Amino acid sequence: MSWILLVVSGFLEAVWATALGKTEGFTRLGPSAVFFTALAASMAGLAFAMRELPVGTAYAVWVGIGAVLTVAYAMATGDEPVAVLKIVFLTMIVAGVVGLKLAH
Other C-beta atoms lying within 10 Å of the C-beta of residue 86: 15
What domain count does the chain have?
Answer: 1
- 29-62 confidence digits (pLDDT tens): 999 999 999 999 999 999 999 999 999 999 999 9
Rounded to the nearest 5°, which phi and psi values hold at 79?
-75, -20
CA distance 97 to 104: 11
Contacts of 43 (CB under 8 A, 6+ apart): 9
Model confidence, pTM: 0.91
Range of the domain at 10: 2-103
Over the range 56-78, which residues count as b (16 or more CB within 10 Å of their CB) and which as e? ebbebbbebbbbbbbbbebbeee
- 59-86 confidence digits (pLDDT tens): 999 999 999 999 999 999 999 999 999 9
